[in-house]
A and B are shown apart, each in its own frame.
Chain A
Amino acid sequence: MKIGRRCFLSFLIGGAAGTALTPLPWKLTDDLSIWTQTWPWTPVPPDGEINYVNSTCMLCSGGCGITVRKIDDRAVKIEGMKDHPVNNGGLCIMGLSGLQLLYGPRRVKEPMKRVGERGEGRWEKISWDAAIAELAQKLNTVRGSSPESVACITDESFGTVPHLFKRFMAAYGSPNLMITPTIQDSYEQTLKLMQGVDGIPGFDLENSKFVLSFGCGILEGWGSSSRMFQAHSRWTETGGKLVQVEPRLSVTAAKADKWVSLNPGTEAVLALGIAQVIIKDGLYNKDFVEKHCAGFEDWEGEDGKKYQGFKNFVLEAFTPDTVARLTGVSANMIQDLATNFVGAEKPIALAGRGKGYTPGSLHEFMAVHALNALVGNINQEGGVWTLDRPDYIGWGEPAQDPVAQKGNGTPRIDGAGTERYANTRSMVNTFAEAVNNGAAVEVLLVSGENPCYTLRGGEAVKKAFEKIPYIVSFSPYMDETAAGADLILPNHTYLERYQDVPAPFGLPIPIIGMTRPVVKPQCDSKHVGDTLILTAKKMGGSVRDAFGWENYEACLKETLGDLWGTLESDGFLVNADYTPPAWDMAFGDESKKFQFFNESYAHGNNKDIFSQLRIEGDPGAFPLILVPAESMRIASGPVADTPFVMKTIPDNVLKDKEIFVEVNPATAAAYGLRDGKSAALSTPAGRARVRVNLCEGIRPGMVAMATGLGRSANSRYIANKGVNFNDLIRPVPDPISGLDSAWGIRAKLERA
């Protein structure tokens, strides 16, 4: 017994000594040490050859050039394309994180058909053949009775894909194609009304020396954000000045050389007040105004009526005192603004609020544009230019069979293009109301848009979409509209497809960008162009005949013709030497003049011309005014923030799932609201629970809420966080354009 124990001990000691003389303990220690440094569950990205693909970003209408870095066939990073005429190497926060859309969990991975209740999230995967057959059959059925009850909402105006939709709808026989309007539409109408031009605006901001911005989100994403940032940086280098007129200290206001806070909604009044000073002091560009303008002085119309010209109208009605009272901007300040604006070399006045998603008030655009005319900065260096619409799509009208003719002859459900809104192409803002009022929409096609999120009106929008029996989404992402659709035919993302991207907003030079497949499709998706062509072919008849192309790529190549080569090799095609037409050639109509006023819109004809903008809500019940707070860090369009971008949202904008509203401490004190505490925000359109962010950078009496949050779909990184601003506001039609001009809504904020 005793020996046994001792022997065992001895054995152990021998074993320990022996082990110490082997590499075992040391090697094991080393290996375990390595094991603890490279846990097997941590991904190791495979290495490979670095290669780059040039393409064009399609996440907004900015048209920025991108260079995608790939490792073998994996895309690992998106960067701005160097020397690209739009963004010159820079890229915005969303563009930089586009790969999270490509590879992210919000993708719709294959065609899907709803099986559960709408929005329940139960889907049946179906094949492309079956999906297209189903859509074709559905469309053919509806076509038999009322083709005009098929509506389509899409996002862009130019380029082959929107033209395919236009063609499809025309051949099918429905006038109800709605292209989501933006400030571009308001600018186009301004150019039409004041310059008689059917064109698109360009702003030569890089060369401007004094920018008077009426609430434009120049640094919040206005057109191509990168381009605007670079222009701003150039101003700081070359002594260019930026004046921001806005009731809230937005980023643009903060970076501006001067922030002019005013009573919300009085931007047009201020613009005319400035015009008044300019005219009164005789500071305007007499050469331009006298030779190339009409409607400045009083005139007698062909109908024999006396019309008051812009000059006297402004001189009488917009004296500094009046304007100061209405806007809350001091008369001295108005005087200064006018003097500085006129005194500056190459001044420019800009309208189009925030990111430009809301078309805005046409009066405001015109009042602001009148300032440009007063200094003669039309089609001049550093001024507002006009460009032709892109014209490379020469397909001709599709043949229409009688059904199509009949359908196309019916009036649009949104009221666009009627006598009242003759210059307006489409008014998505009235869509929900129209449907709720009984307009028949049997099928709704949605491409590139996300109306269930972006349309304003809250409950009304929800109700309208519930009424539509059949919704088809072409979205590559499970966005709010796709989530509530009956059929999803997922498009490729912009990193997997070819598409032409012409005419980015605001660029003063004509450019066509090319989006191309950077990687092969990651999901079982199909180019929306191909889906349309295949559906048309499946439908047969005249619809099929309108789509002779084999597929979208063939269509694109054929359409672009000679341009294809350059686009394929460079990624874009630009006319860098473009100069806009000189003054004597610049203006359309018979007069060939810039028209401050004309007979269709002059004081007397439009009673409320250039007055303070309307706002919805009763001031008694809703003492405050809610306005959007837009930010580069929250995408507020159809596509929601990526996970990376979500990381950049400050914690006094979004905390956990709660959204904050900016309130001036003085206002907060008056309503007993404290910093960080919960509050109930209500407007005539809806109500929401929010938290209070006391902020000195907002005018008392106002509430600002971030846009782009409150998404119900997409991925868990964004869904159900915050409140959708669009649910708290309702569209207010502009009296001239009919487009949404709601810049804010009356609101009430109570302690919760």
Chain B
Amino acid sequence: MDSALIPKGVKRAPLWQFTLFIGIVGIVLLWGVYAMVLCWLKGLNQTNMNDAYGFALWIWADLAVIALGGGAFFSGFLKYIIGKDELKNIINYAVLIGFICYSSALLILAIDIGQPLRGWFIFWHANVHSMLTEVAFCLSCYFAVLTIEYIPLILENRQIDKVPFFHNLGHNMHHVMAVFAATGAFLSFFHQGSLGGVTGVLFGRPFGFREGVLIWPTTFFLFTWSAAAVGPCFTLLVTKITEKVTGKKLVKDNVVELLAKISGWMLATYIIAKIIDTWYWAAVTAPESGFSMMDFYTNNPVYGIWILVLEIVIGGVVPALILITDAGRKNKTALITATVLAVIGICVNRWVMVLQVLAVPVLPFESWFMYFPSWQEIATTILPVAYGIILIGLSHRYLPIFPQERELNPIEES
């Protein structure tokens, strides 16, 4: 029925199957939308956030999806600036994933503020000293870049491409894409970094505070670095999942392995830097304000020091080791395990840098603050996932996202 919209030379699931799939995910989406509307109409009392947890699940989700969406800028950087041309076979998907992640982040931010209609004050009345201002500007600018990168993909739809103007627009945008990608990389460097800066500059919160280089705390660089490292991992992971779901090979192994290799080395260097940073913080920064490292990890009723082990060893060292070895990359299970662990590692890192910062008591006569999200928070956090799946589904079905798909899955003409 919709065959006219489907790219030439590829096979897609029957429409009913696709509709059913979208419909099921759509229900989850609607649930999220309902929760979102509740939050907007009734206010943030719908959440379980409180004065101790001004930042909670949502900000974590923001930080996490932006880190995971880092694949877009880093792949773009590699392809357009460094000139790793093989990556053109996965860059479309990286852009799509990035677009989903960033649009989700902006949506969550719009729910997360107390007076959403005043949200634009962050631009208009910008305080340039605030990391959040930097985040807001770079995030929205980079989202614009991602949109610009995503538009040509849409324009490649078989029907849209028939319109000469759109065809030309797509063509021309492809031509100058390197400029956009460079701008995107520039913006991403700052917003990934400033997200790290958000907690790094909090000198009233010894758990999050890091000393700095220039005007930025070390977390600034670590966040950028880790996003560049794990973003591609997430792109690979989603690609692999897509391959699994569609039952088709979509990207050639050499492309995957190249990205995995780069990602692995980024991750390896990142985790070394992270270990050094943690050590310096534990040995110098924190003790200056009267804390030993274990002060931050004891009296915690849930996880104690294990969260640090999970983040650095399991979610950092292990995947890095897998990805930098040739054998690790060639072994499918190992590769996927590594990407999953890296994604977990980065999510834990972002979790710790938001929630544990607030949970750790700073006044000696206070104790750990506890928090569990309300269903509205969970629903609105799942909302982007559903939305992402739907957008991926639609894009994959109707747009030539994977250039190698036709080659890898030749249709036998009857």
A touching B, CB within 8 angstroms: yes
Where the two chains meet, the residues of A that have a C-beta atom closer than 8 Å to any C-beta of B are: 32-33, 36-37
Q: Residue of B at shortest CB range from A37?
A: B118
Indicate if B159 sits at the interface (CB-CB under 8 A). Answer: no
**A residues in contact with B4, CB < 8 Å:** none
**B residues in contact with A32, CB < 8 Å:** 117
Indicate if B409 sits at the interface (CB-CB under 8 A). Answer: no
Report the Cα distance A166→B333, complex, angstroms.
94
Q: Kindly provide the distance from the CB of B325 to the nearest chain A CB, expressed in whole angstroms.
A: 51
Pair count A-B, CB < 8 A: 6
Q: Residue of B at shortest CB range from A36?
A: B117
Report the Cα distance A33→B115, complex, angstroms.
11
**B residues in contact with A36, CB < 8 Å:** 115, 117-118
Q: Residue of A at shortest CB range from B119?
A: A36
**B residues in contact with A37, CB < 8 Å:** 118
Classify the interface of chain B: helix, strand, loop or mixed. Answer: helix
- Interface flags for B103-130 (1: CB within 8 Å of A; 0: not) read 0000000000001011000000000000
**B residues in contact with A33, CB < 8 Å:** 118
Q: Residue of A at shortest CB range from B116?
A: A36
Instruction: List 6 contacting pairs A-B, 8 Å CB cutoff, sorted by A.
Output: A32-B117, A33-B118, A36-B115, A36-B117, A36-B118, A37-B118
Q: Residue of A at shortest CB range from B120?
A: A33
Report the Cα distance A33→B117, complex, angstroms.
8
**A residues in contact with B118, CB < 8 Å:** 33, 36-37
Q: Residue of A at shortest CB range from B124?
A: A33
Q: Kindly provide the distance from the CB of A25 to the nearest chain B CB, expressed in whole angstroms.
A: 14
Interface residue tally on B, bucketed by range? under 10
Report the Cα distance A36→B118, complex, angstroms.
7
**A residues in contact with B117, CB < 8 Å:** 32, 36
Report the Cα distance A33→B119, complex, angstroms.
10
Q: Residue of B at shortest CB range from A32?
A: B117
Q: Kindly provide the distance from the CB of A655 to the nearest chain B CB, expressed in whole angstroms.
A: 14
Report the Cα distance A36→B113, complex, angstroms.
14
Report the Cα distance A36→B120, complex, angstroms.
11
Q: Kindly provide the distance from the CB of A37 to the nearest chain B CB, expressed in whole angstroms.
A: 7
Question: Which B7-22 residues have a C-beta within 8 angstroms of A?
Answer: none
Q: Kindly provide the distance from the CB of A697 to the nearest chain B CB, expressed in whole angstroms.
A: 15
**A residues in contact with B115, CB < 8 Å:** 36
Report the Cα distance A186→B202, complex, angstroms.
59
The 6 closest A-B pairs by CB, nearest first: A36-B117, A36-B118, A36-B115, A37-B118, A33-B118, A32-B117
Report the Cα distance A36→B124, complex, angstroms.
15
Q: Kindly provide the distance from the CB of B113 to the nearest chain A CB, expressed in whole angstroms.
A: 12
Q: Residue of B at shortest CB range from A39?
A: B115
Report the Cα distance A33→B120, complex, angstroms.
10
Report the Cα distance A32→B117, complex, angstroms.
9
Q: Kindly provide the distance from the CB of A59 to the nearest chain B CB, expressed in whole angstroms.
A: 31
- Interface flags for B373-409 (1: CB within 8 Å of A; 0: not) read 0000000000000000000000000000000000000
Q: Kindly provide the distance from the CB of A300 to the nearest chain B CB, expressed in whole angstroms.
A: 63
Report the Cα distance A174→B212, complex, angstroms.
84
Q: Kindly provide the distance from the CB of A572 to the nearest chain B CB, expressed in whole angstroms.
A: 41
Q: Kindly provide the distance from the CB of A461 to the nearest chain B CB, expressed in whole angstroms.
A: 39
Report the Cα distance A675→B115, complex, angstroms.
39
Report the Cα distance A32→B119, complex, angstroms.
13
Report the Cα distance A32→B118, complex, angstroms.
10
Q: Residue of B at shortest CB range from A33?
A: B118
Q: Kindly provide the distance from the CB of A106 to the nearest chain B CB, expressed in whole angstroms.
A: 25
Report the Cα distance A33→B118, complex, angstroms.
7
Report the Cα distance A36→B117, complex, angstroms.
7
Q: Residue of A at shortest CB range from B121?
A: A33
Report the Cα distance A80→B118, complex, angstroms.
41
Q: Residue of A at shortest CB range from B117?
A: A36
Report the Cα distance A45→B54, complex, angstroms.
29
Q: Kindly provide the distance from the CB of A67 to the nearest chain B CB, expressed in whole angstroms.
A: 33
Q: Kindly provide the distance from the CB of A6 to the nearest chain B CB, expressed in whole angstroms.
A: 13
Report the Cα distance A32→B120, complex, angstroms.
12
Report the Cα distance A545→B20, complex, angstroms.
92
Q: Kindly provide the distance from the CB of B115 to the nearest chain A CB, expressed in whole angstroms.
A: 7
Report the Cα distance A269→B117, complex, angstroms.
70
Report the Cα distance A125→B213, complex, angstroms.
74
Report the Cα distance A401→B115, complex, angstroms.
73
Q: Kindly provide the distance from the CB of A747 to the nearest chain B CB, expressed in whole angstroms.
A: 29
Interface centre among A32, A36, A37 (most CB of B within 10 A): A36
Report the Cα distance A439→B117, complex, angstroms.
68
Report the Cα distance A33→B124, complex, angstroms.
11
Report the Cα distance A33→B125, complex, angstroms.
12
Report the Cα distance A37→B118, complex, angstroms.
8
Report the Cα distance A32→B115, complex, angstroms.
13
Q: Kindly provide the distance from the CB of B273 to the nearest chain A CB, expressed in whole angstroms.
A: 42
Q: Residue of B at shortest CB range from A35?
A: B117
Report the Cα distance A657→B118, complex, angstroms.
37
Question: Which B222-252 residues have a C-beta within 8 angstroms of A?
Answer: none
Report the Cα distance A36→B115, complex, angstroms.
8
Report the Cα distance A349→B186, complex, angstroms.
77
Report the Cα distance A461→B204, complex, angstroms.
55
- Interface flags for B184-226 (1: CB within 8 Å of A; 0: not) read 0000000000000000000000000000000000000000000
Q: Kindly provide the distance from the CB of A659 to the nearest chain B CB, expressed in whole angstroms.
A: 21
Report the Cα distance A738→B131, complex, angstroms.
71
